[in-house]
Amino acid sequence: MNDGANRDATKRSARERLQMERERQKTRDKRRRTLIVAAAVVGVLGLATVVGVIAANAGKGDKSAKAGPVVAPSGATGKDALAIQAGKAEAPHTLVVWEDFRCPACKSFEDNYRDTIHELEAKGLLKTEYHLVTLIDGNMGGSGSLKSANAAACAQDAGKFTAYHDVLFVNQPQEVDDAYGKNAKLLELAGKVEGLDTPEFRACVEDGTHNSWVGKSQDAFRAGKFRGTPTVQLDGKDIFSDQTNPMTPQKLKEQVEGTAKSSGSGATKASPSASASASASPSARAKGSSKTGSPSPAGASKASATGAAGD
C-alpha cells in the first residue's frame, strides 16, 4: 500500500511540476510577445517622430524652392515668365537653354559656346532664353543649384544677369562640392561683376526672393520631359541630337548668320534645315536612365550623369 501511494504521489508531483513548468513557459511567452509588440510600437513611434522632425525642419534656415510666393525676376519672359532673356527681343533666332549652375556639362557648353552666343546676340541675330533648374540638388543633395539660380535671378533684377551668369559658370565648383549652397560664396562672386554687389542684391540673395520661381522653373523642366541638362534648342529644335553631324560653335554661327544673309536681312527666322538640331550631353538624367552621359558638345569635356530629373 505504501509503495502504491508513493508511486501515486510521485506521479502527481511529476504532473504538477510539468503543469507548473507549462504555466511558467506560457508566462515567459506572453512576456516575450509583450516585449516584441512594445518594441515595435516604440520603433514606429520613433520613426514617426523622426519624420515629423524632418518635416517640421524642412525649409527652416534655407528657404525651400516651394516656400513663399512666386516672384519672377525683372523682365522675365515666356510662359509663366520663367525665362530670363539675353539679346534683343526682335532678334530673328531664339536659343532656349535649360541649365543648372552645378552641372558640369552645362559648364562645358558655356565654355565652348559662350563667345559665339554673345557675338550673335551683339549682332542682333540671336536672343537667348535661359531657364534655371535644380537637377543636381535633387540628384546629389544640397542647395547650390537653387541658391545660385536665385542669385542669378537677383542679378537680373539689377540688370547684371549675363555677366553674373558667366561668372558662376567660369567659377563653378566640383559637382560634389555644394559651394554654391553658401550665400557667402555667391556674394563673393558678385564682387567680380561691377556694380552688382549692392544692399538690394545682398538682401535678395539672403532672403531667397526668387526661390519659388526657381522651383516653378524646375517643375516646368520636369513637365517638359527633357533628358537632362543642358538642354539647348535653336528655334524650337535641339541642336545636339544629330551625332552624325555634330554641332560646333562655328556651325551654330553659320546657321544663324547664313539664314540672315540668305534672306537679305536679320529679321527672318531660320529654315528647318538651317536649324536642324540636337540636344546637349546631359549631366543630370531622368530617373531610370543610365549614369553615363551621351557624347559632350563638340569641343567640350565629358561630364558624368548623376541621377534623376524627377526630384
pLDDT digits (tens, 9 = 90+) for 13-23: 655 666 666 66
Q: What is the DSSP letter of 194?
A: T
Contact 288, 265 (CB under 8 A): no
Rounded Cα distance between 84 and 271, Å, is 25
pLDDT on residue 203: 98
pLDDT on residue 56: 32
pLDDT on residue 22: 63
7: buried, middle or exposed (CB in 10 Å: 19+, 13-18, 0-12)? exposed
Residue 173 cell numbers, joined: 565648383
pLDDT less than 70: residues of the chain: 1-67, 259-311
Contacts 24+ apart (CB under 8 A), 257-260: 257/120, 257/123, 257/125, 259/92, 259/93, 260/92, 260/125
Cα of 43 vs its chain's centroid, Å: 33
pLDDT on residue 243: 83
Q: What's the pLDDT tens digit per position in 146-203?
A: 999 999 999 999 999 999 999 999 999 999 999 999 999 999 999 999 999 999 999 9
What single letter denotes the amino acid at residue 195? G
pLDDT on residue 20: 67
pLDDT on residue 215: 97
pLDDT on residue 62: 40
